[in-house]
Amino acid sequence: MGRPHRIGVVGTGYISAAYLSTLAGHPGVAVTAVADLDAARAASVAAGIDGCRALPVEELLRDPHVDTVLNLTVPAAHASVALGAIDNHKQVYGEKPLAAGLAAARSVLDRAAAVGVAVGCAPDTVLGTGVQTARAAVDAGLIGRPLSAVAVMATPGHERWHPHPDFYYLPGGGPLLDMGPYYLSALIHLLGPIVAVTGAGSRLRGSRVIGTGPRSGERIGVSVDTHVTGVLHHAGGALSTITTSFDAVRTTAAPIEVHGETGTLVVPDPNRFDGDVRLAALGADDWRTLEPFAGYREAARGIGLLDMITSAEPRAGGALALHVLDAMTALLRSAEQGRRVDLTTTAERPAPVPLTPPEEWRLR
């Protein structure tokens, strides 16, 4: 089988535990190094992984025992870390968004193409049985010709649970850039690429109070819109309406509904890998829950990286991430300017994921 694919992790904060629970111990990969601006935290993480070393960031990016850099830094650092890895001829798989801005994201993909290395980017939740079963249902014609979709993400804000939530309220953050990638990636899997957007946004208040951890009670500033809504014009003619909010308390809306001429699909939370896909067919008396028939079963964060290093074309790839970022930044620009904005990128729908049991993806 050869040696495992070697991974170096930059950023050992909150989300790293979810990735490491998938990757550490997987027979196809080896987590050989970790790095963090908090050296003590990196050392603690490395101590829990056989054969792993804690290194300074720049040293990890140069390390010959790292094949792919897993970039789990804050959005403002995504591009600089990715470029550092690429310049050392390493693949990169990063947390979303691909970069804090579209120009920086383009530079990452341009540099990777010049060097000849692959770029992958979260979310990989859309590769699970939830979104993939819904996509397979659309492709099988179970709702007829798709006409529209509605996507809703509503929460009172991440400062309630995150001990260091500052970056959620700085440029590169906000509900759209933070949570939008899940919903837009799902909508592109379901309905194809986006050609234009029309958006609107608002900001309920200028500061937030941290609700947990050592900084509990501290007030932080807000410099981005915290409620963003808009219409996505898909190349195939369908229209999607999306709402992302850090200002709402709760919603009863389905995460995503897809409407077609002969049926409607309820798609589960795209921030999860699984969940029920429900179909209401024209003329039926009630909803029917579909058995999962596509996607990685029992998947978890890190499946997108595994997919990248074992597939000819990564399904959670850089081109899709760039297109999603283009759509999100265009929505924000549309909200600011009060007009429809055409996108400057496109992306092919990634290859569908056949139903893949856990014993297969965990061992290959």
The pLDDT, as a whole number, for residue 171 is 83
207 CB neighbour count, 10 Å cutoff: 10
Residue 159: which of 215, 97, 113, 117 has the closest Cα? Answer: 215
pLDDT digits (tens, 9 = 90+) for 238-266: 999 999 999 999 999 999 999 999 999 99
Q: Rounded distance, CA 135 to CA 149, Å?
A: 13
The pLDDT, as a whole number, for residue 122 is 97
The pLDDT, as a whole number, for residue 172 is 78
Under a CB-based contact definition with an 8 Å cutoff, are residues 228 and 332 in contact? Answer: yes
Residues of the chain with pLDDT under 50: 1
Q: At what angle do helices 102-115 and 318-337 cross, to 10 degrees?
A: 160
Cα 289 to Cα 228, 277, 317, distances in angstroms = 31, 6, 30
Place of tokens 């002969």: 262
Q: Which amino acid is at 123?
A: P
The pLDDT, as a whole number, for residue 2 is 72
The pLDDT, as a whole number, for residue 363 is 74
Q: Rounded distance, CA 304 to CA 43, Å?
A: 26
Under a CB-based contact definition with an 8 Å cutoff, are residues 69 and 81 in contact? Answer: yes
pLDDT digits (tens, 9 = 90+) for 260-310: 999 999 999 999 999 999 999 999 999 999 999 999 999 999 999 999 999
Place of tokens 């000849």: 116
The pLDDT, as a whole number, for residue 364 is 65
The pLDDT, as a whole number, for residue 312 is 83
pTM recorded for the entire structure? 0.95
Kindly list the structural domains of the chain, giving each domain's residue range(s) and its CATH number in brackets, ordered by start.
5-121 (3.40.50.720), 125-296+316-342 (3.30.360.10)
